Structure 1
Amino acid sequence: MNIALWIVAALLALLFLGAGVMKVAQPKEKLAAAGMAWTEDFSSGVVKAIGALELLAAIGLILPAALGIVPVLTPLAATGLVVVMVGAAVTHARRKESQMIIVNAVLLILAAFVAWGRFGPWAF
């Protein structure tokens, strides 16, 4: 199970690292044109803040556990991603973007799995 938790954490880290870099590095208008229409509902600062949270979570999923420095940050990062995905699902529900809610739900379940495993039976 430890290997499964590492694999899921690594996949989540890669996904959120990419998503976070994109939100932090690109202007809101370019993100909206690239298919992230939800960015039109938020200010540029909020979109950048979401991206920064995703970057921090991606780092937090891997580095603390891998380096053995405050490893409790790993399940906390996963829990933070659960909260971010709840917010994303609510935003997509308000916009009636049901396909994106499914993506959010899958990512939420994966992040919850890592949080459960690392807080519980397979903690560091």
Structure 2
Amino acid sequence: MKAQNEKNLTDNAWVERIGQLRQMVSDQYDTTQNTTPQQFVDWLVENADEEFDSADERILLRRAEESLEDAARQRVENEDELDAISDVIFYDWPNKWDHLAWVVSADVSEIVDWAETVEMAAE
């Protein structure tokens, strides 16, 4: 609300701006490139033709996080070998976004080997 007031935007204009920012992420964030959401937003802010304020950056980051998490979940669901180890893959890892970027881009065999190592270490 503060950002909306600072920009002097009506409710409709604010909703439209959020939609524009979310669409930018959808159009430009290639989750298969092993890039975290923060790395993508940093790149976009530096290379885009328009300027973004901190509220814009938070919206971009949130959408990039959603996109990466969706891509990781979809990949795991579509690969039987990964689906079988989804509990390990989606454990609450401290470096969540680096981990999910890797899950989306790594070979299935690499992820399976990693999960086996994690499970053995936990025993």
TM-score when scaled to structure 1? 0.32
Q: Whose Rg is larger?
A: 2
More helix by share: 1
Query: TM-score, structure 2 length as denominator?
Result: 0.32
